[in-house]
Amino acid sequence: MTSPLSRRIVLASRPQGEPALSDFRLEETPLPAPGPGQVLLRTEYLSLDPYMRGRMSAAPSYAPPVAIGETMVGGTVSRVEESAHPEFATGDWVVGMSGWQSRAVLDGASLRNLGARFEHPSLQLGALGMTGFTAYMGLLDIGQPQAGETVVVAAASGAVGSIVGQIARIKGCRIVGIAGGADKCDYVLRELGFDACIDHRTPDFAARLAEACPQGIDVYFESVGGAVFDAVLPLLNLRARVPMCGLISSYNATALPAGPDRLALLQGMLIKKRIRMQGFIVFDDYGHRFGEFYQAMSGWLAEGRIRFREDIVDGLENAPAAFIGLLSGRNFGKLLVRIGQD
Amino acid sequence: MTSPLSRRIVLASRPQGEPALSDFRLEETPLPAPGPGQVLLRTEYLSLDPYMRGRMSAAPSYAPPVAIGETMVGGTVSRVEESAHPEFATGDWVVGMSGWQSRAVLDGASLRNLGARFEHPSLQLGALGMTGFTAYMGLLDIGQPQAGETVVVAAASGAVGSIVGQIARIKGCRIVGIAGGADKCDYVLRELGFDACIDHRTPDFAARLAEACPQGIDVYFESVGGAVFDAVLPLLNLRARVPMCGLISSYNATALPAGPDRLALLQGMLIKKRIRMQGFIVFDDYGHRFGEFYQAMSGWLAEGRIRFREDIVDGLENAPAAFIGLLSGRNFGKLLVRIGQD
């Protein structure tokens, strides 16, 4: 048998500011045959997520950076092509971390096996994967929304934000989204059923957000930062909660913004209003609660109470451009790359 | 019977930056006789606390400002001189909010009655009052220290900080204090039994703090901010907790510090390290748990496991200078004014 090949995208250089296409390189490499306990996987879907920008930088973060010349990391849904693990058979769908490549040999122990027949497998990277899990735990465990409270969601048409808002609606909250552009706001209002959605690109954004939150903000789900957070901060109520899963507006920043320094201002606000701000990384902090999430979300999806939009790009070679677009909000819904046959 | 007189200190003008003596004015006013349900109190001890600086400003905060010409607010221990409330008798010790004055007529319902014989009544404003309660709830409910963790305490020789550290020691933590000056650090180390105490006035403060925290910082109890927080921030561990009860270093600030703007930097740190920062105002947020605190603290004091230092100033007329000194750290221990007879 010939050695299987993997096409893969490696980190060619560390980006300064916004990543460029030249920071990525497409390669083809032979893979070893799977050893005992391993499986050979063919990637079907690759998830593109903002956190990957952090892994491209050498700066210390919550996970080590991707080394130059190494395959970009990423969550994937794949099918088993060859198995040396008793619990996996050829044709099984699996969820794992193959990264930006068309094939991978991985330990079976690192994979979740979905079985041979599986409807809508890409959902395992979205509403039923890290994306939905992030929305669920951040909102419910840190945000603790109560019926009647106002929940504001950054990037409300996005993968995480759209689910945060819909769970908050299920919990009886007033939900106000923030999104970039009229088409996204329209979708958030009409398709997702938010009570309001404010376009952060309009010049009077802060005033319109304040109008949409006449009772102030009790929970703000943060994934953006920057000017969006600046508009939110003065509206936060006594005992507001601010779960934070990301800060996409600053991922490409090469220097801190100009002053004045508002660090102490923020600290003072947290004290005066008894606000809780808390960052989290969902699998690290809540991995033990994945089963609970999966059951709840499966139910809501089946009942049609949560809708989920995917933005699918075809071809591994298009992953870098799609990822660069994600960082500036060009995607509309959960961004996935369909790898296809090779 | 002649109308009783109260000497009182009123807010004469709103301070710009550090309060000046001219921002206060001593007055003498006749008091009405206590109406039904009221008592006439003679103040024995007045508590001076950093939060009072906020009440002198017109800027919105968690409580309305003291109006110009109005008596400065403050917690007090008093004795009943005359009672029109069935549960209070002449000579009873009470805890209340008479403010900066020698006598007050208050509703009995707003007072806690300690009875006629009471040892060490000033402790009701310190270890057994708001001070100790703030330390207890912030450390235990927000900080949630685990045995073996490193707890860093700002203003470690101060009223709140000294108790935070001693409770953390009881919980089996490594405790590192930060204080201003060699005498305070010496006290924190030798009298309070901290594992280390770093003088924030030394030029290599940040390096020495890092040395004293070889395992990083799991809980930082914030009451200072500014350069102290700057040194703490890079040492915070994954899942660190930062209860915040005050920010004394910025109370006299008239403008934000120069840039760059580190607000997003702080947000990013909270996400990468999954840090929880939370402000609290102890009676508003935890008033229902005062009994639990009082019992625990009474036990620790009786067993000698918690020591508490008072810095007592004699004479109501000296309260303004003492308060101005408090804001720059000139006190050494819990600052109280003994009002005395008039």
Residue A59 has pLDDT above 90, yes or no: no
Residues in chain B: 342
Strand partners, A10: A25, A71
pLDDT in tens, B114-134: 999 888 999 999 999 999 999
B276 contact residues in A (CB cutoff 8 A) = 276-278
Angle at B206 between CA A57 and CA B268, to 5 degrees: 35
For residues A336-342, average pLDDT: 84
Per-residue pLDDT at B341: 67
Radius of gyration of chain B (CA): 21
Angle at B155 between CA B152 and CA B160, to 5 degrees: 90
The count of other CB atoms within 10 Å of the CB of residue A186 is: 14
B137 with B270, same domain?
A: yes
Half-sphere exposure of B95 (CA within 13 A, CB side): 14
B116 with B169, same domain?
A: no
A148 with A109, same domain?
A: no
Determine, yes or no, domain membership for A292: no
Residue with the larger pLDDT of the pair B9 and B283: B9
**Final residue belonging to a domain, choices B284, B299, B330:** B284
**Among residues of chain B, what percentage have pLDDT more than 70?**
98
Q: Which residues of A282-319 are buried (b: 16+ CB within 10 A; e: fewer)?
A: beebbeeebeebbebbeebbeeeebebbbbebeebeeb
pLDDT tier, B63 (very low <50, low <70, confident <90, very high otherwise): confident
pLDDT tier, A342 (very low <50, low <70, confident <90, very high otherwise): low
Give the chain B residue nearest A62 (alpha carbons): B272
CA distance B101 to chain A (A): 26
Per-residue pLDDT at A105: 97
CA distance A327 to chain B (A): 16
Per-residue pLDDT at A17: 94
pLDDT tier, A46 (very low <50, low <70, confident <90, very high otherwise): very high
> What's the Cα-to-Cα distance from A205 to each of A202, A211, A235, B329, rounded to whole Å?
5, 10, 13, 43
Rounded to the nearest integer, the mean pLDDT of chain B is 95
Q: Would the pTM count as exceeding 0.95?
A: no
Best of B134, B233, B267 to mutate (most A CBs within 10 Å, chain A): B267
Determine, yes or no, domain membership for B215: yes
A143 with A243, same domain?
A: yes
Binary contact (A277, B273; C-beta < 8 A): no
Residue A338 has pLDDT above 80, yes or no: yes
Cα–Cα distance, A221 to A230 (Å, whole number): 14
Residue A1 has pLDDT above 70, yes or no: no
Per-residue pLDDT at A85: 97
Residue A23 has pLDDT above 60, yes or no: yes
Residue A45 has pLDDT above 90, yes or no: yes
Residue B1 has pLDDT above 90, yes or no: no
Q: Which two tokens stand for residue A242?
A: 């601010």
pLDDT tier, B3 (very low <50, low <70, confident <90, very high otherwise): confident
Per-residue pLDDT at A119: 85
A156 with A225, same domain?
A: yes
Per-residue pLDDT at A169: 97
Q: How many domains does chain A have?
A: 2
Determine, yes or no, domain membership for A161: yes
A74 with A174, same domain?
A: no
**Residue ranges of B 204-243 with Cβ closer than 8 A to chain A:** 222, 225-226, 229, 238-239
For residues A41-56, average pLDDT: 96
Determine, yes or no, domain membership for B303: no
Determine, yes or no, domain membership for A302: no
Per-residue pLDDT at B265: 94
Residue A64 has pLDDT above 90, yes or no: no
B271 with B319, same domain?
A: no
pLDDT tier, A63 (very low <50, low <70, confident <90, very high otherwise): confident
pLDDT tier, A118 (very low <50, low <70, confident <90, very high otherwise): confident
For residues A32-37, average pLDDT: 95
pLDDT in tens, A80-106: 999 999 999 999 999 999 999 999 999
Q: How far apart are the first and last CA of chain A?
A: 17
Q: Could you tell me if A86 lies within 8 Å of chain B, comparing CB atoms? A: no
Per-residue pLDDT at B64: 85
B22 with B114, same domain?
A: yes
Rounded to the nearest integer, the mean pLDDT of chain A is 95
Residue with the larger pLDDT of the pair A59 and B289: B289
B139 with B280, same domain?
A: yes
Per-residue pLDDT at A183: 96
Per-residue pLDDT at B32: 93
Determine, yes or no, domain membership for B301: no
Residue A341 has pLDDT above 70, yes or no: no
* Domain housing B36: 5-126+308-338
A30 within 8 A of A7, measured Cβ to Cβ: no
Residue B168 has pLDDT above 60, yes or no: yes
A163 with A261, same domain?
A: yes
3-state secondary structure of A6: strand
Helix (H) / strand (E) containing A117: none
CATH code assigned at A13? 3.90.180.10
Binary contact (A247, B268; C-beta < 8 A): yes
B173 with B260, same domain?
A: yes
Determine, yes or no, domain membership for B94: yes
CB pairs under 8 A between A and B: 154
ipTM value: 0.88
> What's the Cα-to-Cα distance from A23 to each of A4, A11, A14, A64, A250, rounded to whole Å?
26, 6, 6, 18, 19
CA distance B286 to chain A (A): 12
DSSP one-letter string for A224-248: --HHHHHHHGGGEEEEEEEEES--G
Determine, yes or no, domain membership for B292: no
**Among residues of chain A, what percentage have pLDDT more than 70?**
98
**Among residues of chain A, what percentage have pLDDT more than 90?**
92
| Range of weakest confidence among A303-307, B23-27, B253-257, B312-316 | B253-257
Helices (H), A138-260: 159-170, 182-190, 205-212, 226-232
B226 contact residues in A (CB cutoff 8 A) = 264
CATH code assigned at A162? 3.40.50.720
B105 with B161, same domain?
A: no
Per-residue pLDDT at B118: 80
Q: Which two tokens stand for residue B318?
A: 């000296």
Q: Could you tell me if B254 lies within 8 Å of chain A, comparing CB atoms? A: no
| Range of weakest confidence among A88-102, B143-157, B202-216, B245-259 | B245-259
- Per-residue H/E/C for chain B: CCCCEEEEEEECCCCCCCCCHHHEEEEEEECCCCCCCEEEEEEEEEECCCCHHHHCCCCCCCCCCCCCCCECCCCEEEEEEEECCCCCCCCCEEEECCCCECEEEEEHHHCEEEECCCCCHHHHHCCCCHHHHHHHHHHHHHHCCCCCCEEEECCCCCHHHHHHHHHHHHCCCEEEEEECCHHHHHHHHHCCCCCEEEECCCCCHHHHHHHHCCCCEEEEEECCCHHHHHHHHHHEEEEEEEEECCCHHHCCCCCCCCCCCCHHHHHHHHHHCCCEEEECCHHHHHHHHHHHHHHHHHHHHHCCCCCCCEEEEECHHHHHHHHHHHHCCCCCCEEEEECCCC
Residue B113 has pLDDT above 70, yes or no: yes
B12 within 8 A of B21, measured Cβ to Cβ: no
